[in-house]
Amino acid sequence: MSVLKLSHLPKALLPAILLISEVGFAQTNNKTVPPVPEIRAIQPGDKKIVVPQSPGGYHLLFKGSDRSPIIDSTGAIITPLVESKVNLYFQLISNQTDTLKYDVSKQVTVPGKFANQGINPQPFIIPALREWHGGQGNYALTSSDRIVVNTANRTTLQKVAAILKKEIKQQTGFNLAIVTGRPEKGDIFLTLKEQDKSIGEEGYYFKVNQYITISALQYQGLFWGTRTLLQLLEHQTHIPKGIARDYPEFKVRGFVLDDGRKFFSLQFLRDYVKLMSYYKMNDFQIHLNDNGFKKYFNNSWDSTYSAFRLENATYPSLTAKDGSYTKKEFIDLQQLGNDYAVRIIPEIDVPAHALAFTKVVPEIGSKQYGMDHLDLHNPLTYTIIENILKEYLGGDHPVFTGKEVHIGTDEYAKKDAEAFRAFTDHFIKYVQGFGKDVRVWGALTHAAGTTPVTVKNVTMNTWYNGYANPVDMKKVGYNQISTPDGWLYIVPAAGYYYDYLDYKNIYENWTPSMIGDVRFPAGDPTIIGGSFAAWNDIVGNGISEKDVNDRVFPAMQVLSQKMWGGNHTESAYPDFAVASKQVDEGPAVNIRGRISADTTTITRFTFDKSDRRVKLQGTIYTKGIKGQALAFSGENSLATLPYPEIGYNYTVSFWINPADNPTEDVVLFKGPNSVVKLKQGNTGKLGFSRDGYNFDFDYAVPENVWTHVVISGTNKGTSLYINGALQKKLYDDWIQFSDKEKTKVRKVETLFFPLREMGGFHGKIDELQIWNRALSDQEIANDK
3-state secondary structure at position 336: helix
Q: How confident is the model at residue 22 (pLDDT cuts 50, 70, 90)?
A: very low
Range list of H helices, 24-153: none
Report DSSP letters for 564-588, one per residue. Answer: HHTT--SS-HHHHHHHHTT--S-TT
| CA pair distance 349, 423, nearest whole angstrom | 12
Instruction: Tell me the average pLDDT across 491-513.
Output: 97
Q: Which stretches within 467-518 are classed as H helix?
A: 470-476, 485-488, 503-509
pLDDT of 346 above 50: yes
Range 748-766 average pLDDT? 98
Orientation of helix 545-565 relative to helix 573-580, angle to 10°: 130
How far from chain centre, in Å, is Cα 470? 24
Q: What is the pLDDT of residue 21?
A: 29
Cα–Cα distance list, 50 to 62, 69, 88, 681, 734 (Å): 10, 18, 11, 75, 63
Q: Mean pLDDT across the stretch 295-323? A: 97
* Distance, first Cα to last Cα, the chain: 50
Q: Give the span between the Cα atoms of 716 and 285, in whole angstroms.
A: 28
Kindly provide the residue ranges of all beta strands, DSSP E only, lying in 197-304, ordered along the sequence: 204-208, 212-216, 238-246, 252-258, 283-287, 289-291
For residues 756 and 646, is the Cβ–Cβ distance under 8 A?
no
Distance set, CA 106 to CA 54, 62, 82, 247, 512 (Å): 13, 11, 20, 21, 18
Q: Whole-angstrom Cα distance, residue 686 to residue 666? A: 9
Instruction: Write out pLDDT tens, residues 376-401.
Output: 999 999 999 999 999 999 999 999 99
Is 11 a residue whose pLDDT tops 90?
no
Rounded to 10 degrees, the C-alpha dihedral 3/9/11/17 comes to 50
Peptide linkage before 351 cis (omega within 30 of 0)? yes
Q: Answer yes or no: is pLDDT of 732 > 80.
A: yes
- Report the interhelical angle of 266-278 vs 219-232 (nearest 10°): 90
Average pLDDT over residues 505-524: 96
Residue 783 has pLDDT above 70, yes or no: yes
Q: Which of 157, 155, 134, 137 is nearest to 147 (CA)?
A: 157
> Contacts for 360-365 with beta carbons within 8 Å, 24 or more apart?
360/315, 360/317, 360/318, 361/315, 365/301
Q: Tell me the pTM.
A: 0.95
Residues contacting 622, CB < 8 A, separation 6+: 628, 629, 630, 631, 764
**Is residue 380 within 8 Å of residue 364, measured between CB atoms?**
yes
Asked if pLDDT for residue 692 goes beyond 80, the answer is yes
**What per-residue confidence (pLDDT) applies to 3?**
54
Looking at residue 569, its pLDDT comes to 86
pLDDT in tens, 591-605: 999 998 777 878 999
| pLDDT mean across residues, the chain | 94
Distance, in Å, from the CA atom of 623 to the CA atom of 621, rounded to the nearest integer, reads 7
pLDDT digits (tens, 9 = 90+) for 199-229: 999 999 999 999 999 999 999 999 999 999 9
**Residue 26 pLDDT greater than 90, yes or no:** no
| Distance separating alpha carbons of residues 111 and 344, to the nearest angstrom | 39
Residue 425 burial by Cβ neighbours in a 10 Å radius (0-12, 13-18, 19+): middle
Whether 510 shows a pLDDT value over 90: the answer reads yes
Phi-psi region of 698 (alpha: psi -120 to 50; beta: other; left: phi over 0): left
pLDDT at 2: 57
